[in-house]
Each structure stands twice: as C-alpha cells, then as structure tokens.
Amino acid sequence: MNTKLEQLYTIRAFDVDTKGKWRPSAILTRLQEIAEDHAIAVNAGRKELVEERGMAWMLTRLHLQMKQYPDLTDTIKVVTWPGKPTKLFFVRHSMFFSETGEELGRATSLWVLFNIRERFLCRTGDIGENYPYDLSHGRALPDPGKIKLPDEMQYMTTRTVAYSEVDMNGHLNNAKYADWICELFDISHLKKAYMDQFRINYIAEAYMGQKVDLYCKEIDGTWFVCGKTGNKTVFDASIQWK
C-alpha cells in the first residue's frame, strides 16, 4: 500500500483572509481532507469504517507550524504520511511546499478510532494492516502532547455552534475552532499578524446550537485559549503569532 500521498492544491478565494493569505482554518480543512483521502486510498475510509464496521476517525490533537503563507491563486503541494501508531493513537504527518519546492509549513496530528454504536475508543490494532506506515519518511513534528493551561483564564465571549460550522454529524467542524480562536483577536492584530505555531487538543464534541464559553490568557508571547460548556472542557489551544 502507498504510505505517502501527495496532492497539488490551488489557493482559492474562500481559502484566504483579508491579507490574501491562506487562512488558518483553511489550512486545517486541507489537512483534514488529505487525511481522509489517504485513509480512503489505504482502505480505511468512511465506507470501510463507518458503513461496514461502525467506526469513525476522530482528530484529538494537532500541532501546526507555518514558515510562510501562500497567496491567493498560488499552487502548493501537500504531502501526508502516517507515523507509527501507539496502542490508542494514530499519528499523521503533513507538509506544505511551494511550486518551487520551498517548505511552507508542517503539521503532526493524532487521531483515534471511535466505535459509533457503542461509543468507546478502539485500539489501533483493530484496523491492523489497513494503516501502513514507513519510518523512513521521518516526522514532520514531534507527536502533539497535552496542553497545560495557565491558572485564572479570562472569560472572553460565548459562541453558539451554528449550522454553517458543523459537519455531517452535527459537531463543530475541526477547522472551525481556528476561526473561533482567531476571532478573539482584534481586527488590527489579524491584519498584520501571522499564526506561527498552533496547537489544539480536541477534548469533547460541541453540537449545533450548543453554547461554548471561551477563555484566554497570554503568557510570554503564547496565547492560551480554552472552550467550555459548563464544567466540561471542549478544547484547549495555544497560539504564537509573528
């Protein structure tokens, strides 16, 4: 089986921000979609998992590091490959390159398999040979760890998960968390700053119509953000800007 997938992608108008640069949530969307494409290519896509075995992929942690942001109409190359799974986590590495081969960014994510019918996490061995990996490809970034939040996070706002933000399961789409986080910052900041490092832990699902309280705190140039519904944490994140 093919242990690496490469795709060309042209940056569209709906992918960019006010600077005409690739928007963070659009980057997360591309990471999500190429991961799905590779899963399909190795017989571990929706048909084989959801329809036949009642299991689904769930993204749990992500670390994104960007060196440069492509512009509207730029064509880039997106490359993805699996790392060696642990007992519970599937590891996926990805990189972005310009047309001239210059590195734009890289990401490493952790995924789990979830039994939809009985609602429990599956072990990685449950799909065995359908998750091929080749250690010679290396790693994009170290496996993302748990984000440790500072004390006394400041309440910022409450968001309600909207129809336009959910996936087919009625959950807030993984990429939309990046929009929520960016929108905590002033427009003047977003017009001049670029997200350098982005880390997120997806902890619980947020459903359409659900209210999520957002909290934020900055320490030594790193911004920490978390979302909560009551006492339950939905996500933790950290961002560094340049």
51-65 pLDDT tens trace: 777 888 999 999 999
Residue 129's pLDDT is 62
**May I ask the CATH class of domain 5-137?**
alpha beta
Cα dihedral across residues 154, 110, 165, 78: positive or negative: positive
107-121 pLDDT tens trace: 999 999 988 877 778
129-141 pLDDT tens trace: 667 889 999 999 9
Choose among 55, 85, 71: nearest CA to 22: 71
Burial class (CB in 10 A: 0-12, 13-18, 19+), 212: buried
Side-chain half-sphere CA neighbours of 233 within 13 A: 14
CATH superfamily of the domain spanning 154-241: Hotdog Thioesterase (3.10.129.10)
How far from each other are the two terminal CA atoms of the chain, in whole angstroms? 40
Whole-number Å distance between alpha carbons of 187 and 140: 31
193-227 pLDDT tens trace: 999 999 999 999 999 999 999 999 999 999 999 99
pTM above threshold 0.85: yes
Average pLDDT, the chain: 94
Which tokens in the block code for residue 130?
């359908």
**In the chain, which segments carry CATH 3.10.129.10?**
5-137, 154-241
